[in-house]
Structure 1
Amino acid sequence: MAVAAYASLLSLSHVLENLQHPARRTRLHLDSNQVQTLHQTVQFLLEFLEVDSGRISQEMEDLARQIAILADEAEDVIDLHVVYQLGQGSRDKSQDMAALSSFYQDIHKVVQKIDSIMNELGMIRKESTDVSKQQPVVFVLESSSTAFTSSGKSSTMVGFDEHLVRVMDELTRNEPDLQIIPIIGMGGIGKTTLAKNTFDNPYIVHHFDRRIWFTISQEYSAREILVRLLNDGKDQESNKTLAQLGQRLHQNLFGRRYLIVMDDMWSISAWDELRLFFPNNRNGSRILVTTRISNVAISLGTHSPYVMDFLDEDKSWNLLCQKAFGEDNCPYPKLEEIGKTIAKKCNGLPLAIVVIGGLLANSNRTLEHWESVAKSINSFSNLEYSERCLKILSLSYDNLPIHLKPCFLYMRIFPEDDVIKASKLIKLWVAEGFLKTSRAKTLEEVAEEYLRNLIDRNLILVHKWHYGGKKAKTCRIHDLLRDLCLRQSQKECLICVPKAQRISFFEPWESCLCFLCSSRLNEDQRMDLPEVQVASQSTSLESLLVCDGCRIMYPNLVRLRLLRVKAYEDDIEFLHPTKLRYLKISDDMQLKFESPSTISLLWNLQTLTLKLPYRVNLPSELWDMPQLRHLISDGVVDLPHPAVTQDSMIMENLQTLAHFRNFRCTIDVLDRVPNLKKLGIVYLEKGSGGLENLARLQKLESLLVIEKDVSLLANITFPTSLKKLTLTSCCIPWEEMTVFGSVLPNLEKLKLYGNAFKGPEWSPVEGQFPRLKVLIIWENDLVWWRAESIHFPKLERLDLYEMHCLEEIPSGIGDIPTLLSIHLWDCSDSSINSAKQILEEQQSSGNEILQLYVDEGQVVSVTQ
């Protein structure tokens, strides 16, 4: 429950910060001292959980459960009162005073209960501290994640032969200095198996004078490790100090060529405490480290990490055969097809294949039994398989700091094998309130750090990187790790969902209704969707996620709208659910989106995405919603001009304003969105767009303009912060590109669609695009492109689509030292031939990095 308490406190913290926003304070009648006091209490409890979450007793678990309930209760009390005030109409003062008095009483009761819990926590903490001072600390030196000791038997190496050869080569190559070689990968990928087979290889045994293997657990003691290294834990070393033990180890290794394997390292601090005791004998000694955490591997410093990937389908099948039959092939033809299906469902994770292979080896070899195994392999119905795998993978979860656990557990809401946009995941984490605020960073930047950390720990897998490889574009989670999320979510009582995902131990929890169904579900897997009235009137609903297939699976859902529903007996009507933070409505839902003016009563709403086939006019009240961070449409939505008043609200949190029709960038509007990072505008009507004012957006990084009236772009200005520019159908003369390039010193990505620039010739000028990495030109009548390498000195990728008139790609493009790839789709034959010539010239000069793609295929050499 500590994670649930932490997540609930974080969410409450965001609500309290929202209340302290200047715009809220002027519109709401609240006791600021009471709000601030509660906020300070919440911060104290958050810090307490961050420090003590790893050693919480059963008493503390019970208190954590109460904290989670009270935090949710406080949020509900605040929300009900805020919405009452925001929705007040013709009520008299006596009603308002009665409501205010009731609010103060309710929140005071919650605060008193929290104070009582804080006192109990203090007493328990003191008692546990006193006990810990009296009792010795017991350290576990062997991690349960490995089945090996230094004298254990090596495991099957199917699919690992190439890894074994490469690691052995690193261990024995002619490099005299001491080298540290990290092996990195997620739990169960085979790191320990590879290290053990390397350690026991006869050539390695002969090559090194001394070999030592030890496992570093999550709770380690440098002193106890040294004792084990020296004498396998015998009593004569037990009274020596750390320095004495280290000196003896140094003496034992000095002058010898040694191999040390440190298996399952979780923290660089373990190495920092031991590194001084391993001498650099300059005789080819090596230290081999296995770890699940990228940062640990990188911090070791002397050698690039050796990354272990998943097995392909053929190697997965071979490993399954080894475990199930003890040979490389299947001796039963009738089982081969279903066996390959089972192997494929393991998603290339050796741990899963080994465990399921062991189960198959000791069971009936009938087609019916193997088919039942195939059906249950990705569910908890196969308990033995799940327990054995999750026991190992749970170590990665246990090692997570508490601030990362809610974000990891949230991954369970996505269907199996789902490819998740990182940008969407970040928005959802922000909306759920899982991120701790930072003065120096936006919540999105904090979320990116959390995502990077989970990727480094191999708990979230990168499916596709943004160009340049620094940030994940899409990601996914391995099925077994998703099962771990399901198990831990239930244990922590953090995230519960309806029955759509067929997890029997989950009960619907209305604070997180996730309509994630998918058309793959069978009739018996459909959840019992509550009546639409119940869902729409819930005040505690925070996330309404509607994905593909819901319209078919749940007929009731097609009637769901954002409707005005009665909330109070005095007939004041407003939108529910009021705690909604993330809302996306797509055209495939066949839902009619009605946007009443009372949308501002969704005072917690952060992200509103509309993908609709019909034109919608949003209400001006959106400009009175300071929590909004992302407003996204697909070009058919009109966002009205805000009313200009003395108390006009500054939308400090708004970062995305994308694809709105005929949006006017007037000075008063742009000054209200000072932190805007992404802006997309679709001009379908003539008139002043105010593009000459864009330079006022000093934090703008991405700009998209769809415009057929070139006159509107005549006076456009750009902020120097711009990194990505997309222009469509603008028909700007190529000669004007000189002006564009000269004012975009930080531009990294330029996308030109549908004759964004027009004319037969483009002659770039040196110095225009000093940092441009990606250039995309789609459907353009350009004939002669006269460019050299100096015009795009940092270009990494060139994409040309439907360039039917282009004579050739300038040969100088191939001389750009950073260029990695050229992509051509439906282009002229002459441009394709010039690209092949560039590739030939680069290959002949030793450039093996540049890749050429024509239509869907990759041209490896010019002979293709």
Structure 2
Amino acid sequence: MYFNNELSNLKDHLLVTLQNNSDVERDRINFILWDLKFLDCFLHLKRLPFASECGMLEFSQKMIEIWKIQSHREPYDCPYWKEVIWKTKQEFRAEYSFPNTSLAANKVDDVSPKFVMEVIDVFVENLNVVVKINDPYSWLFVPEHKEQIEQVLKELKLLRFFVCFVSNKCIEPQYRHTTFYIHALIEASHIAMVVWLHLPVLNGIVNQYLAPSEVSRLRSDFMEMKIKSIQPDISRNNIYIDVLQALKSTIPQAQNKHAVESGIVETPTQNLTVGLSDQMVNLQEMLCFLRDNLIHLPILDLEFHLQDMDSVIVDAGLLIYSLYDIKGEKEDTVLDNMNRALGFDLPRNIEPIKAMVYLVMQKAFQSNLPRVHGLGYVDFLLKNLKDFQGRYSDSLAFLKNQLQVIQTKFESMQPFLKVVVEEPHNKLKTLNEDYATQIIRKAYEVEYVVDACINKEVPQWCIERWLLDIIEEITCIKAKIQEKNTVEDTMKSVIASSQLARTPRMNEEIVGFEDVIETLRKKLLNGTKGQDVISMHGMPGLGKTTLANRLYSDRSVVSQFDICAQCCVSQVYSYKDLLLALLRDAIGEGSVRTELHANELADMLRKTLLPRRYLILVDDVWENSVWDDLSGCFPDVNNRSRIILTTRHHEVAKYASVHSDPLHLRMFDEVESWKLLEKKVFGEESCSPLLRDIGQRIAKMCGQLPLSIVLVAGILSEMEKEVEYWEQVANNLGTHIHNDSRAVVDQSYHVLPCHLKSCFLYFGAFLEDRVIDISRLIRLWISESFVKSCEGRSLEDIAEGYLENLIGRNLVMVTQRDDSDGKVKACRLHDVLLDFCKERAAEENFLLWINRDQITKPSSCVYSHNQHAHLAFTDMKNLVEWSASCSRVGSVLFKNYDPYFAGRPLSSHAFSISRILLNFKFLKVLDLEHQVVIDSIPTELFYLRYISAHIEQNSIPSSISNLWNLETLILNRTSAATGKTLLLPSTVWDMVKLRHLHIPKFSPENKKALLKKSARLDDLETLFNPYFTRVEDAELMLRKTPNLRKLICEVQCLEYPHQYHVLNFPIRLEMLKLHQSNIFNPISFCISAPNLKYLELSGFYLDSQYLSETADHLKHLEVLKLYYVEFGDHREWKVSNGMFPQLKILKLKCVSLLKWIVADDAFPNLEQLVLRGCRHLMEIPSCFMDILSLQYIEVENCNESVVKSAMNIQETQVEDNQNTNFKLILIEIHLFYLFDMKGIESISTDMKEKKLTVTRDVDADEVQLVVEKLRNVAYADEVQLVVEKLRKRGML
């Protein structure tokens, strides 16, 4: 609808007058627009006689004249103005009545359904405004009976759907259709007229003109009687019946026009008030289910079934509207008569409606499932089916037989799924994975149907039919597998699952760019005395970050700078996080004050860098504003400080440049391309001559882009080294991948085994340029059912195999490995790969990012992201908006936070996160990062398998046991709760599926209740931070966790008898950290853990006897760390022959050890020795000279004799034992310790860690540079003595 010229001019004049006066409220402007929209619609109906006969046109013209007069009055005269309008409409109300004119008299040939819908749309829009107004002073406020308006609003929408439905199904105009459109206009106009006549309502002033009783009667008359449901009488019923019968004859030829079918379904059922039989109640229920699920079907499925659905809808409408004509008659007689008259057999016609309802519900669910699945989902379902049948036996009683059959069917498919995982290169790979996907989809359906049955969300007849279909489909899948002999064929060549990661690990050494490296090195070491920015730019995948990191870690470069620091910016960044990253490198983690504001941190960084020569790496800069933020922190004092900057954009590189021109990083040449491909595929070996030609052709096809080459190498490294297989890769790559790394990523993804696809896409849930903790990643993978169980191996070990496989394919970059066992501790993804994961995951309905500036609204994709998908949020308001539309989402991953909510509980009514989360009824994973504090644990979400969040409370509710599926519970404490002991209810021990329980400093709430409980947590593998005050409490908890692998706990002065009590830890325990809260109290028990590999003791009083007895019980110990330990026996530690036979790493920090006596055969496999703050230790025992496995000694803040003994050990290891890999690190030592050290050949320093390294590489120039640098720092007098000593040795 558009305003006519007269109304448009009036509207503009009124708005200008009001807007120029600051005293005019916005509410008055809104009322003017609201009123004029109604008037405009009424005037558009002037062609129809009913508009004149009921007074609609006359009222509208008079009201326009009043508005014209009002437009020239003073705008601040609000009470008078409102009173005039009210009185005028009061007069109109007295004259108005429902149009009684015949429909035939109102017949107008050019009344189109489009016009009818436009009129109704305006009325609906205006009624929506009234419904939403809650301010009693608003001119649009309705004081009473708003629910009637809401009901009328709903019915107007339904009438609009009916008009749309009829118009979309009409092949050609017919008289009965025009009559229906006129009827719709009359009904809608009447409703609009009544509401328009009623507003505005006067508060107080009107009472002087009307008695209270008259006001009450007025409101009752117009709000309760005249605004009522569209409940047609007989003549109007005939209109609906006539139009539906006409449609019934034309449906087979009707064209599908994507009508919103769900809207029309509700129309015939809304106001059915006659008495109904059981069959009719069922019919109404079925139509409601049909309505609710039609909107969930994608367009293709909707079109496929549209003709059948139209027939069902028309038949249902005919049936129900016919029933309005039979009030007062006996129902059986009426139904017989109606069936004969309409040719309508109720029992027979309900069956196709049932079939359609079921089909639509099933399709709505299936069509929106994610297309990438975790093969571990069947494991999860089988466990839950048993639990469901036990917990909800009454609700599921009628399904008992079907569920048992389904359980048996799925169990029989487990060997096949195992084969799919263990033999991804089988010739039937594609077929196997297709069958596996079908099986997982059936598992999703079973879970949904069972839950719908428990919660009575789906009718029983539908559930029974659905489960029978599932049984039939699983049987069919199994038959196809057996027909193709898939299991038998693949089982013959099944490889051990341990070979999943058979690709050899490659180091991250760079290949190529030698000329570029040399050019950049010269710019860093030479050039201007002032500060300079060495910037590199180029397309993604060229290797900018790898090249920058090589220069940043180049020893010949780093040795010339006092401070080295780096940060990675990325597209979305936090200024404060960048400053913290730089400060951590510049002054050390322990000296950084994270509570400071960004401006204070920037000032601290600037002052830290001011007197020093620094090297800064700023990686992945996207905008000039980043450089504006950071450049002020980098002072220029003409000391040759340098900054390395990488970016994709030339404009950014140019903007940040100072003296040196930006370097545009070139592409690889053909030689470099082949060299990199060969290195990544064959490692230190050479390529076979048979593969060289095809290999060089593939390298050339990669478009000289290093990232593409590395990814293709990942594909080749997983294949047989045969020409025919490499030819297949070349053919698949085609010629389109030049300068397009996305195409190569797509190919790498395509060849992934199906069990790795979900794991890889899940990386899309992490933020750009973030280092990912492997333990956390694996826990999430397991909770998401990505990991398929394998007898004899833990899920964690299997998941590590998956990760190593992805690393071997060059899809994941390792950033940190464990020193002792080489396992990956941290990783990250290249930006190109991360972008691919996010985009592909969204396409597969697997993962959707809801960002702060998300354009898509929840209502626009209510169901497309409501099925077993994963949602990642970056803003709390987005979480609130989407929660109501995503009830079936499986994971909520909160990756950022609004500063308002940081560190405080979300306990207000508007943002109570536990209340919000209840909308996600199928939630399995809840991962809240960045200190999002939950007000309470959502114990109603019993599907939850993983929770990670912050809490303020000092206790956990006993209802936590309702989360009977929970496997991982990680609750961090806010700063306000830090240090307080959290009470853990005894009901936690009923949560038998728990695998990981991480809560800082917790203690059982009721130890007596815990003692009485027979339940054990047999699946628990990691337990972090229980707090014990008695040995008996520790023993009790250890008995209830017999399969622990990792334990971190705090103890307080555990009393026990005089002799040491042996505390038996679980036999599978591999890592143990014990911390004493009251420092230097004796430890009162001896540790017995036969498979323990890692032991950390902190804050205890120890002696040689204790350590000897402990060593007898720890034959497999590989890592021993003693922190803040007080030694007894005159501060002496005696290590006997054969003690700690498997120990690889020994770290002593701040121990009171004075004398250390080590037998010759002790520590036979030691690789690393670290001594920090051992100021009383006299020396390192000489036997360490003869330990052939020793590779590394680090000494920090120890006395001179310790440093000297370390140097002697180094000399023997290097010169006598020819241990060329041996390395000695000296940190924060006084320089005069170097006076009498023999064998000094070169010195280098790392001032960011205050580290001085002594090696066997002779380079007098390097020593000179180091000494000159040391002159600029502390200990100036000591430096001079060092210089003299070095000169005597001929080194200067």
> What TM-score do you get using the length of structure 2 for normalisation?
0.43
Picking from 1089, 1110, 1131, the partner of 1:740 is 1110
CA distance in 2, matches of 1:725, 1:458: 34
Aligned to 1:608: 969
- 1:284-323 to structure 2, matched below 5 A, reads none
CA distance in 2, matches of 1:729, 1:289: 63
Residue 683 of structure 1 aligns to which amino acid in structure 2?
V
Conservation of the 8 A alpha-carbon contact between 1:545 and 1:583? no
Percent pairwise identity: 26
Corresponding position: 1:721 with 2:1098: no
Against the structure 1 CA distance between its residues 45 and 849, is the aligned structure 2 distance closer, same or farther, given a 3 Å change threshold?
Answer: closer
Shift of 1:75: 2.5
Aligned to 1:111: 467
**Higher Rg of the two aligned structures:** 2
Against the structure 1 CA distance between its residues 633 and 425, is the aligned structure 2 distance closer, same or farther, given a 3 Å change threshold?
Answer: same
- 1:793-832 to structure 2, matched below 5 A, reads 793-832=1164-1203
Conservation of the 8 A alpha-carbon contact between 1:564 and 1:576? no
Against the structure 1 CA distance between its residues 834 and 565, is the aligned structure 2 distance closer, same or farther, given a 3 Å change threshold?
Answer: closer
* Per-residue Cα deviation, 1:661-693 (whole angstroms, up to 9, x for no partner): 117556664343221111222123655799956
Against the structure 1 CA distance between its residues 741 and 13, is the aligned structure 2 distance closer, same or farther, given a 3 Å change threshold?
Answer: closer
Picking from 782, 786, 791, the partner of 2:1153 is 782
CA distance in 2, matches of 1:439, 1:462: 28
Q: Secondary structure at the match of 1:445?
A: helix
* Per-residue Cα deviation, 1:745-799 (whole angstroms, up to 9, x for no partner): 1001111111164452112111110000111111111112122552111111112
Picking from 748, 763, 766, the partner of 2:1134 is 763
Shift of 1:158: 3.4
Corresponding position: 1:860 with 2:1254: yes
Aligned to 1:301: none
Shift of 1:848: 2.0
Q: Secondary structure at the match of 1:621?
A: helix
Shift of 1:607: 0.8
Conservation of the 8 A alpha-carbon contact between 1:67 and 1:114? no
Conservation of the 8 A alpha-carbon contact between 2:413 and 2:478? no
Greater displacement, 686-695 / 647-656: 686-695
Against the structure 1 CA distance between its residues 264 and 703, is the aligned structure 2 distance closer, same or farther, given a 3 Å change threshold?
Answer: closer
Aligned to 1:480: 832
Against the structure 1 CA distance between its residues 215 and 129, is the aligned structure 2 distance closer, same or farther, given a 3 Å change threshold?
Answer: farther
* Per-residue Cα deviation, 1:567-587 (whole angstroms, up to 9, x for no partner): 9xxxxx97233322211223x
Against the structure 1 CA distance between its residues 680 and 385, is the aligned structure 2 distance closer, same or farther, given a 3 Å change threshold?
Answer: same
Shift of 1:820: 1.7
Gaps of 5+ in 1: 85-98, 131-155, 164-185, 201-207, 220-261, 276-287, 293-350, 356-383, 518-525, 568-572
RMSD in angstroms over aligned alpha carbons? 5.2
Aligned to 1:653: 1019
Corresponding position: 1:558 with 2:906: yes
Against the structure 1 CA distance between its residues 662 and 403, is the aligned structure 2 distance closer, same or farther, given a 3 Å change threshold?
Answer: same
Picking from 928, 936, 948, the partner of 1:584 is 948
CA distance in 2, matches of 1:640, 1:386: 67
Picking from 880, 904, 908, the partner of 1:531 is 880
Aligned to 2:956: 595
Q: Secondary structure at the match of 1:763?
A: strand
* Per-residue Cα deviation, 1:90-117 (whole angstroms, up to 9, x for no partner): xxxxxxxxx7x98987764443343454
* Per-residue Cα deviation, 1:640-664 (whole angstroms, up to 9, x for no partner): 5474699833322111112111175
Aligned to 1:419: 771
Aligned to 2:786: 434
CA distance in 2, matches of 1:683, 1:209: 60
Aligned to 2:845: 493
* Per-residue Cα deviation, 1:116-148 (whole angstroms, up to 9, x for no partner): 544776899899999xxxxxxxxxxxxxxxxxx
Aligned to 1:850: 1222
Residue 943 of structure 2 aligns to which amino acid in structure 1?
K
> What TM-score do you get using the length of structure 1 for normalisation?
0.62
Aligned to 1:139: none
Conservation of the 8 A alpha-carbon contact between 1:727 and 1:751? yes
Picking from 668, 672, 681, the partner of 1:194 is 672
CA distance in 1, matches of 2:969, 2:1049: 17
CA distance in 2, matches of 1:763, 1:26: 59
Picking from 454, 460, 465, the partner of 2:806 is 454
Picking from 158, 161, 169, the partner of 2:513 is 158
Conservation of the 8 A alpha-carbon contact between 2:958 and 2:986? yes
Conservation of the 8 A alpha-carbon contact between 2:847 and 2:872? no
- 1:357-396 to structure 2, matched below 5 A, reads 388-396=740-748
* Per-residue Cα deviation, 1:257-310 (whole angstroms, up to 9, x for no partner): xxxxx98873676337999xxxxxxxxxxxx99999xxxxxxxxxxxxxxxxxx
Aligned residues: 630
* Per-residue Cα deviation, 1:402-446 (whole angstroms, up to 9, x for no partner): 111111111111111111111111111111111111111111111
Q: Secondary structure at the match of 2:1073?
A: strand
CA distance in 1, matches of 2:816, 2:846: 29
Gaps of 5+ in 2: 1-366, 487-510, 519-540, 547-667, 679-686, 699-711, 920-936, 1228-1248, 1257-1262, 1267-1292
Residue 680 of structure 1 aligns to which amino acid in structure 2?
I
Residue 726 of structure 1 aligns to which amino acid in structure 2?
E
Conservation of the 8 A alpha-carbon contact between 2:376 and 2:789? no
Greater displacement, 803-812 / 765-774: 803-812
- 1:2-41 to structure 2, matched below 5 A, reads 4=370, 7=373, 10-20=376-386, 29=393, 31=400, 33-34=404-405, 36-37=407-408, 39-40=410-411
Corresponding position: 1:215 with 2:694: yes
CA distance in 1, matches of 2:843, 2:795: 27
Against the structure 1 CA distance between its residues 121 and 533, is the aligned structure 2 distance closer, same or farther, given a 3 Å change threshold?
Answer: closer
CA distance in 2, matches of 1:853, 1:469: 22
Shift of 1:597: 1.3
Against the structure 1 CA distance between its residues 6 and 543, is the aligned structure 2 distance closer, same or farther, given a 3 Å change threshold?
Answer: closer
Shift of 1:696: 5.5
Q: Secondary structure at the match of 1:450?
A: helix
Aligned to 2:721: 271
CA distance in 2, matches of 1:542, 1:594: 27
Aligned to 2:1069: 700
CA distance in 2, matches of 1:401, 1:634: 39
Corresponding position: 1:683 with 2:1133: no
Corresponding position: 1:730 with 2:1100: yes
Conservation of the 8 A alpha-carbon contact between 2:883 and 2:917? no
Against the structure 1 CA distance between its residues 127 and 672, is the aligned structure 2 distance closer, same or farther, given a 3 Å change threshold?
Answer: closer
Against the structure 1 CA distance between its residues 159 and 698, is the aligned structure 2 distance closer, same or farther, given a 3 Å change threshold?
Answer: same
Shift of 1:695: 2.4
Residue 158 of structure 1 aligns to which amino acid in structure 2?
F
